[in-house]
Amino acid sequence: MAHGEVFFPASLPGFLVEKQGHVLGLLTYAVANNQLEIVTIDALRRGRGVGTALVDAAVRQARTLGCTRVRLTTTNDNLDAIRFYQRRGFKLSALRPDAVREARKLKPEIPAVGDYGIPITDELDLERWVAPRQ
């Protein structure tokens, strides 16, 4: 669930990082309106380049598909993700104050408090413009 839209990640295309038969990370995405949206990303081990490899694969796919940007939504408590994406060229493009309250109506299992003890209240969009492959 992001920006009022419900996603079903199991039915989406994505990328998998494996090493010696072990899954190290997974990213799923959706494409619409000339943009590739990262719906889920999970790097099982931090600091090993798995998340970066997944984002790089998404950017390459966006170019291949002729998309002009890669975007994603996260929440205000997810400081590690905000830092991660900004270091990879993403910029804050939208803030939806109190959007998580509405999201909880459809997905009540969203916790009230998240990372670093920060109340989860807002959605933030980040985006990175990409040049489509010619």
pLDDT given for residue 38 in this prediction: 97
Taking residue 94's Cβ as centre, other Cβ atoms within 10 Å add up to 13
pLDDT given for residue 35 in this prediction: 96
CATH class of the domain at 9-129: alpha beta
Q: How far apart are CA 90 and CA 107, in angstroms?
A: 27
pLDDT given for residue 66 in this prediction: 95
Q: pLDDT per residue over 99-109, tens digit each?
A: 999 989 988 99
Q: Residues 50-65: what's their mean pLDDT? A: 96
Residue 1 pLDDT > 60, yes or no? no
- The chain-wide mean pLDDT, for the chain, equals 92
| Domain edges within the chain | 9-129
Tell me the three state secondary structure of residue 98.
coil
Q: How far apart are CA 124 and CA 131, in angstroms?
A: 23
